Structure 1
């Protein structure tokens, strides 16, 4: 849920929830109050009639007496002068907390001594100053002496001698109304309490839904500040904060990945420097030894001098190759390999490469053979210099691990649909099955001994893989220990696009 929506529903809840709770509580308390009133007056209320239409409810208490007196007043008013008859009616009314007052020429002639009211209240009734009319009839709720609330029903009539008379049927309501007033006061206090509690609970919930996730993100920030990246930021909150937490966790993942890559890069750089230093030391030592031999006059014949100079030249080339690998490695790491792609004829290009490589192999008693099974005019799009580096690195790797008196390297090119497939096979000592998946990894060396005469920086085949992949091809190897290894790589053919009019 979005924060805007969450806030909207929160404020809506602040209005709706207290109202609903208040209505429920008021309904419950009203029900209890109505039942108490019904039990007190022994008459049922229709729904919430006591509250919604109290005049009608209280009038039903005295309907029987009211109808009877109304008929008598209209037909036989002289009967209203009979005190015993009035007392009989009054006795019936007293059972319903009501009583009878009869007025003649503005003086009470019956009921003045009623025990429900004292003299002061009778006088206040006679001269009431304040009353509330709840309907347009002769039924009134009257405050007597500003304290006692009574329900009054009037019947006006004429005595036989034409004197004005009035019958009052009075229902004493003070206790019940006071009870209802207290209930209303309770309702008011209850509404305030419910409103305060609702606001407190809903506001607290909103605060927690925002503050707790922010605290979790803050703790995560502190952990990153302290260098701890091994945790996961999981937050359940409004949508915006969840998105913020997800972005923060993604940032943490990237920082962790960068930190791991940096550690790995530093480790690889140290290993590379160590490898290069180790591998440079051997040719430098040899060059230094042969130069000292020349200075000391050990090479005292033309044959020895030629041998010493050739050895120094070969060792210098070996150092140059190692330095070139180091330079090229730095370009790989920054993705700044300079490629110059051109169209190359497969047969002529590989023939030139074989001629160049073959010169070095003759002196090492290694036989080199080249077989082209692709069409003569097959062309590829490639960088001639970098592709030559691929061939030299693979062949150099084969030479390094040839362990037989008579070695051979076969280079074959085959047609493979939209690609050409290049195979470089040797009869060296091979690669173990458990090592084969890792030979293209940077710094991986099947022979890890520092005293190994094979040398190597461990990045030759990783360079080969990078160049082939940048050409849109792929590379893999098969090998069998003590038998030899075959390197395979594919290069995409050049295909002219036919233009149709």
Structure 2
């Protein structure tokens, strides 16, 4: 907001803007003080002068005012003009008319209104003074006192009020002189304040300048640098902490971007590798057929079965990649109230078929309800169960499912007695295309996407998946859903 009556663009520097605005504020304050001082001093001087004039008027006996020859005579000093009578005006107020007692020797007597004279007849108003203009156009301060009655009564005339006035010119000169002194001292104070305040501002803004210099050297390679967050100024310290927090977030974002790019690079490389292997196999079988194997029933049948298996593998891989792409975006889930206990029991024949001769144990709590997409939940359970089947012995393997209601939600544990997962590999098992045993996974047709898909589905349900494993003792995958709304 521009407080000036004209448009003035301040300098862009914060230092100069603070300096100019502070000077404007100080100037405004001094202006207000000067105005208040002028009127307070004016009231004091006028009141003091009125009291002095009132005392002077009261010192003149009223009886001497009626006879001009009895008035005090002007004093002469070395032939100079007479003084005393030239200093004031003196008038007798009779029937609302003012007569000049001093004549031409004194100041002209101001004529006030009849209402003013009638008001001054009240005892409480006689102590007041009036500032008015005399017939010569000069400003006078006038005071009053009670008069006396002439001998002879009403016929001879009644004198009601005596007024004495003095010129206000000396008072005005004193006021303007004091105002000029105040303005001069204020100007000197502003000039001295300009020098001192400029130095103070420069010192005060030094931490901000340090931040500016630090920011100039910031780049993507120096996001670990930090600005000191304790420089003795609360606002600057808050700015430093906020800036450091921003650098921390930027650094994390850059690290996440690097990790995402690295994951994408690995994803493209792994996907290309997974797709190249079956395509290469199909291409090789086609070359064999083109060389004459198509005329040999045994070789033709073997090549066709092999190509059929490889194409199924490619189709499965493509389907899983498409599913992951959908889950990476906004997943469309058909959430509904589901009895998870009943859902798993309905899957028991399919799970038993997959387990084969392995020992299957199901310990499920009754009537466990969750909000989920039933088809996607089945897919997660099948993925984890199939993973357990692949890593347990066909005869001595044991797979257990435990479903229970916990304090803050629902937990499903799928536990096996397989070889377990090495500790250094556990943090990677949910990565795409990651396989702890690549040759075994490839023989089973897996591409290392099942656990990644399972985690994406659980994240879409606002749930979670985790693993507990110790090498040589088996692995447990834990699915959990938050408490249903």
- 2:365 and 2:404 in contact (8 A); partners too: yes
Please list, as runs of the form range in 1=range in 2, the aligned pairs for 1:102-501 lying within 5 A after superposition.
199-210=194-205, 212-224=206-218, 228-234=222-228, 236=231, 242-296=237-291, 298=293, 308-334=303-329, 336-351=330-345, 353-356=347-350, 367=358, 369=360, 371-375=362-366, 377-402=367-392, 404=393, 406=395, 408=397, 410-417=399-406, 419-436=409-426, 438-439=427-428, 441-443=430-432, 445=434, 447=436, 453=442, 460-491=450-481
Task: Tell me the alpha carbon deviations over residues 431-485 of structure 1, each in whole angstroms, 9 at most, x when there is no partner.
Answer: 124444x145535946387998578665543442343244344433332323432
**For the structure 1 residues 266 and 302, does the alpha-carbon distance in structure 2 shift closer, same or farther, using more than 3 Å as the test?**
same
Matched residues, number = 323
Residue 271 of structure 1, CA deviation: 1.0
3-state SS, counterpart of residue 412 of structure 1:
strand
TM-score (normalizing by structure 1): 0.49
Q: Which has the higher Rg, Structure 1 or Structure 2?
A: 1
Residue 237 of structure 1, CA deviation: 7.2
- Tell me, in whole angstroms, the C-alpha distance in 2 between the residues paired with 1:300 and 1:361: 41
Runs of 4+ in structure 1 off by over 6 angstroms are: 6-15, 191-198, 299-304, 448-452
- 1:328 and 1:337 in contact (8 A); partners too: no
Please list, as runs of the form range in 1=range in 2, the aligned pairs for 1:29-108 lying within 5 A after superposition.
none
- 2:338 and 2:371 in contact (8 A); partners too: yes
- 2:354 and 2:386 in contact (8 A); partners too: no
Residue 239 of structure 1, CA deviation: 5.5
RMSD: 5.2
Structure 2 unmatched ranges of 5 or more: 1-14, 28-77, 79-185
- 2:331 and 2:460 in contact (8 A); partners too: no
- 1:342 and 1:381 in contact (8 A); partners too: yes
**For the structure 1 residues 304 and 424, does the alpha-carbon distance in structure 2 shift closer, same or farther, using more than 3 Å as the test?**
farther
Task: Tell me the alpha carbon deviations over residues 19-45 of structure 1, each in whole angstroms, 9 at most, x when there is no partner.
Answer: xxxxxxxxxxxxxxxxxxxxxxxxxxx
Structure 1 unmatched ranges of 5 or more: 16-126, 128-190, 496-501
- 2:468 and 2:476 in contact (8 A); partners too: yes
- Tell me, in whole angstroms, the C-alpha distance in 1 between the residues paired with 2:390 and 2:279: 19
**For the structure 1 residues 397 and 220, does the alpha-carbon distance in structure 2 shift closer, same or farther, using more than 3 Å as the test?**
farther
- Tell me, in whole angstroms, the C-alpha distance in 2 between the residues paired with 1:443 and 1:386: 18
By relative contact order (CA 8 Å, sep 6+), the higher-ranking structure is 1
- Tell me, in whole angstroms, the C-alpha distance in 2 between the residues paired with 1:345 and 1:452: 33
